[in-house]
Chain A
Amino acid sequence: MSTGLKIAIVGGGLAGLAAAMKIAEAGHEVDLISVVPVKRSHSVCAQGGINGAVNTKGEGDSPAKHLDDTVYGGFDRMGVPFSRTKEGLMDFRRFGGTLHHRTAFAGASTGQQLLYALDEQVRRWEVEKRVTKYEGWEMLSLVLDDHQVCRGLIAMNLQTLELKAFQADAVIMATGGPGLIFGKSTNSMTCTGSAVSACYQQGARYANGEFIQVHPTSIPGEDKLRLMSESARGEGGRVWVPKANGDARSPRDIPESERWYFLEEKYPAYGNLVPRDIATREIFQVCLEGHGVGGENQVYLDLTHIPAETLTRKLGAILEIYEMFVGDDPRYVPMRIFPGVHYSMGGLWVDAEQRTNIPGLFAAGECDYSIHGANRLGANSLVSCVYGGFVAAPSAIEYAKNVERGETETNGLYDAELKRQAQINEQIISNEGGENQYKLHEEMGKVMTDNVTVVRYNDRLKATDDKLLELQERCGKISINDSNLWATQAVPHARQLWNMMQLARVITLGALNRNESRGAHYKPDFPERDDENWLKTTIAEYSEEAPVFSYEAVDVSIVEPRKRDYSKGKTKSAQVPQPGSELKPEGREERWVKDGEKITEGGSIKD
């Protein structure tokens, strides 16, 4: 029996489906809005595994306490084909850098398998009429009442362009990351961040936007960047560019003496095995200075000196991916790779119950900021999505049950917002300014990728914001080039583009303000982490001129911050916080050493 409570969920990836399932299970109704059929959400791309929360004992009665058992047991019972032990139980593995985490996985497509399990469960609830799916609908805006309380949302049917108001007792945002702001990224084409940007423009706080994770080795494509496992470097891959800029010869025709193995030259002790973040920065910098292969943003990752049989045995699956999308066989032709924008640690500000600052609005998954701080560890994204969904669901139910509101309050609210959105559509359709929206998107992607990813300089960040303002102005002059409005992609894209530009400014100005280096945010002019001034969460609030920034202290009562230190025994430094233990300042070299081995940070899993 339904209780009459209705909760709208925007996004049908892991977080959205996890929340939908929990709400349906509790007897309430869900409207599930997704731009694509939910089974096709970006969560399918996660290949690595799912880490469990551990050491949660003693942290008080937090929702995280039983997460391990709930998540693993739950997915196991849903029928996810996890790898098994001899006895037929779930098999767990450990990965480098995650000594205390257990990683379960299903083949090389854990994200896909987890998403499918939730998709199946939600389909079951769909049959029971608890969940109504609106697939092929895109959220445009929230419906807020006079008290800035969320009462539902407006979404657009992507075939008919019909606008519809969804009344809801609470709304959960689960729309994933904003990778498309950078033009090409490892994200799916649906990952625009558009709906989250709409929330931000209506008063939702956006936190830590400047923390954008860049994966060191992705395969540059004209359409997107595809992930290449770091294990290629681990197995002996050598990174190089031709010494002569723009050398057009085939890589095999370039003799050893005319190749620049820049990692080996700059870091003789560790060469190509420098840790992730350093590899990322160096590759990026080399290309930024014009040394990239063919003058483009790419360097060679060369495995051809290793016998083909060895490569097939050790790296077969990942080399197949490269061959499938590039056409070259990496056993004989050096791969071309470049760092790729991969994950946003920032997102909608939420509290421990996944509540945003707008009453009635919740967020979960990559679109919320709360889990990964300034950088994310491998195999943590899946668990954070499921966790966020599992917490947001009861939190939204609790809110919906207890909120008091009068009947007449919503008079005209939905119609007014529908009208506002219809006007925006009309404006976009009738504009005749001559700007091409896809070219604008490319321009934005380029300026963001060049200046607001791996290496950040204040003058360039400032110039980027100026450029974004210019693009924003030109965005108002787009002539959509589609006279057929049936299932047109031009109108939704023009709207997404505007919204992306708003978040692009949040990311850029957040990075400009943060004069330190922390996690994925690196400024050569401010290379150290500065806890005294910057152990803070960035909060951006929308205003028409520019985002307004404020900073919130980070709660460090449970784990005291310490220096990222790979020079000490790992167990000691990672296991327990060492309050008061002042670590000596260290050079980079020291950070790479771990018991005489190469650094295993992040391991070789892909996700």
Chain B
Amino acid sequence: MTRYSIVADLNRCVGCQTCTAACKHTNATAPGVQWRKVLDIETGEFPDVHRAFMPVGCMHCDDAPCLSVCPTTATRKRDDGIVTIDYDLCIGCAYCTVACPYQARSRVDLPTRAFKGKTMKHEVVREDPKRIGVAQKCTMCSDRIDFGLENGLIPGLDADATPACVNACIAGALHFGDAEDPNSNVSQLLEKNQHFTMHEELGTGPGIHYLWGKSTGNDEPAPEPEMIAEPLGMPGVVPALQKSWDWRAASNFILGGSGTSLFLATAIGGTTGMSMVLPGLLALAMVGLGLFCVWLEIGRPWRFFNVFYHARMSWMTREAMVGIPFMGLGFLTVLTGSIPLGVVAAVFGMAFLYAQGRILRAAKGIPAWRHPGIVPLIVATGLTEGVGIFAVYAVIVGAGSSSLQTLASILLILIALRVFAWSSYRTSLGRIGAPTGTFAAFAADPIKLTPTHQAIPVVLLLVALAVPMLSPVLVALAGALALASGWVFKYGLITRAAFNQGYSLKKMPARGAGLSSPGVKPGWTTN
């Protein structure tokens, strides 16, 4: 097998950005889009300071998170290790963008010009309409490699078969070749030098290897880099708030979670003789509106049907696939009042909710999302929100005291579960570490899922249980608070706490006869 890889020699790299510029030329990327770039990283404090330059881009991972999440199969992996994007399939959902822990992907929705409002000749000639509204990233210049192979050239050795960034590298820092071939240039470099890959702990198997010192013959693995909570002067290196998924995506998590759970509550209420029409329609409308919001967010909305292409791996496909029977059966339930249909629809709804949790869990690029605790938390809050709405509905339609007491009990349990899920998630995340901005965003939420904040609905519900005559008001209030807490949390989770992985450097390189020094994981902290 062939495994094309890039080796970046950090001792040689000078941060000149020639690779960045050459990539922009070769691939005609839009202004602001850099498939390849070089970071400027500083460690230490005056006067013991080190500075290094680190080329980054798509890592063409062995186990590429972008590939597994892609709902359309637009992202694929070639036998030679290159991760590709089929622009004709991609719907521009940006799931891959948030799944990539290397910030390698971007989406451009409109033709952009270097000089605003003014078009240059070469921009017109180089324009590729296929690339509008879809995911894009480094292709490893696969067209050059393929051309080279077709013409008997050796990628990495012959310029016409080698990625443009490697060809352009003036410091000779970038090398390209087959890492599976022990005699290749890159294998030889890896053999003779100490090296690491970025974010090894994520298990992605990156295809860019960084050399940081000569091999001693008895090399120890580079230690994990130190987290620096508030590094200075490295805005392009530290985790940044993801911008790919905004309020529209948040709406899907908010409305989808609440809606499916509301439908579950509706179906259960139906078994007690309550009407399923109004709450059922509300639930379906919420889920539908959430999906509509997502549709508004994707870059190629009229290809939305491609979302169904990747059930084997993508939780987004699975969410969509269970969403259809949920919506269909849900409507039938409302129309017919059939309890069995309602139960089946509710089961699909729960699958939808679970899928939402798994969607976030699979987004490896966002530390706040990928934590395993996110799934129970999303499910718990979805259920709490759904029951919270149902409680409000029950009060409005004048449900009986016993029903309200039952609802209060259920809500109480769900709030407790959600608090537990949140606390477990938050404690674990704090122990593992996450971007500083993530913790700050959670701390800034006006209503939190913490025991302190959730004590209010809990007290309200306990009073409601103790004093039935007060139940309608207190249950409605508690339900509304439970709902609001969940919505605030999810909105914050998607739009404010979703800092990406950022970059890290395991070892500062030895420069010439100098010594290597500890690396850095800037913008991260435990909390």
- Real binding pair: no
